[in-house]
Structures are given as C-alpha cells and as structure tokens.
C-alpha cells in the first residue's frame, strides 16, 4: 500500500519525489468522494509536480550543463561551416582561387602603397656628416 499523503509530503519536503505509483494513487484520491481527502491529494500531487519542475529547471540551468551544451553547439557549428566550405569548394573550384588571388592582390597593393608613402615622407638626419636626406 502506498504512503499516506502526509508521508509523501514529508518525503517531498526532504527533496524526494514521489514514485509514479504514488502519483497515480494521489490522482485517484483527488477524484474521491471525500472532499478533504481529495483536496489533500490534489495539494500533494501539485507539490510533487512542482518538485519535478524545479528539479528539471535546476538541471537545465546547471553551469556545467550549460557549458557542455555551448561546447557541443560550437563544435556542431564549426563542423557544419567546414562541411559547407568544402562542398562549395568542390562544386565551384574557381571561387577559392579568385578569393586567394584577391587577397594576394590586396596584400601587394598595400605593400606598394606603403613603399610609395615612405619615399616621400622619410627623413634621415646624419649628425656625423651634417646632412639631411629625404627618401
């Protein structure tokens, strides 16, 4: 025989959740003719459901659980992105070549512009010989 509602209440207060059989018995008692017994059973059933909900929320919001979920999502996203890049490259091999050429062109242009800027702005002062040179 299952525990009385008061005994279930004590177990719930200690952080223990009622078993499925105890929940079923509370549901049956909640529909009984005795209004007091039905009210107590409803209260205990609601308390048990709230305990389960709080336990589920605590598990879901646990920092370790959140950290593991974030790591898993990051790995999945990186894997999916890598797969898409590889598939795009296989389907259209000219795209990576064009991107690489464009980057190389930008690097060369940057170097050329830097070199050009130095020739008109660089000033060297030779204190031994007393000369000033502009490059």
What's the pLDDT tens digit per position in 26-57?
878 878 788 888 888 888 888 888 988 998 99
Expressed as residue numbers, the domain containing 48 is 5-61
Which has more pLDDT, 26 or 16?
26
Q: Say if 43 falls within a structural domain.
A: yes
Structure tokens at 108: 């060369």
**Three-state DSSP class for residue 14:** coil
Please list, in sequence order, all residues whose beta carbon lies within 8 angstroms of the beta carbon of residue 26, skipping any fewer than 6 positions away: 5, 8, 18, 41, 44, 45, 48
Say if 87 falls within a structural domain.
no
Answer for the pair 30, 41: CB distance below 8 angstroms, yes or no: yes
**Is residue 69 domain-resident?**
no
Asked if the structure places residue 125 within a domain, the reply is no
The confidence score (pLDDT) of residue 81 equals 95
The pLDDT assigned to 67 comes to 93
Is residue 134 in some structural domain?
no
The per-residue pLDDT of the chain, averaged, comes to 81
Q: Is residue 121 part of a domain?
A: no
In this prediction the pTM is 0.41
Looking at residue 26, its pLDDT comes to 80
Tell whether the model's pLDDT for residue 10 goes beyond 80: no
Q: How far apart are CA 39 and CA 113, in angstroms?
A: 84
Label residues 103-130 b or e (16+ Cβ within 10 Å = b): eeeeeeeeeeeeeeeeeeeeeeeeeeee
Residue 85 counted as domain residue: no
CA-CA distance, 80 to 107, in Å (whole number)?
30
What total of structural domains would you count in the chain?
Answer: 1
């Amino acid at each position: 025989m299952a525990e009385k509602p008061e005994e279930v209440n004590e177990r719930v207060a200690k952080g223990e959740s009622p078993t499925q059989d105890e929940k079923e018995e509370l549901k049956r008692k909640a529909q009984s003719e005795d209004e007091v017994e039905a009210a107590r059973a409803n209260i205990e059933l609601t308390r048990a459901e709230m305990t389960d909900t709080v336990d589920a929320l605590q598990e879901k919001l646990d920092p370790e659980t959140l950290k593991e979920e974030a790591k898993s999502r990051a790995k999945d996203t990186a894997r999916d992105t890598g797969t898409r890049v590889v598939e795009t490259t296989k389907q259209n091999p000219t795209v990576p070549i064009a991107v690489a050429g464009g980057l190389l062109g930008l690097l060369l242009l940057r170097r050329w512009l830097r070199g050009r800027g130095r020739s008109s702005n660089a000033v060297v002062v030779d204190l031994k010989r007393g000369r000033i040179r502009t490059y």
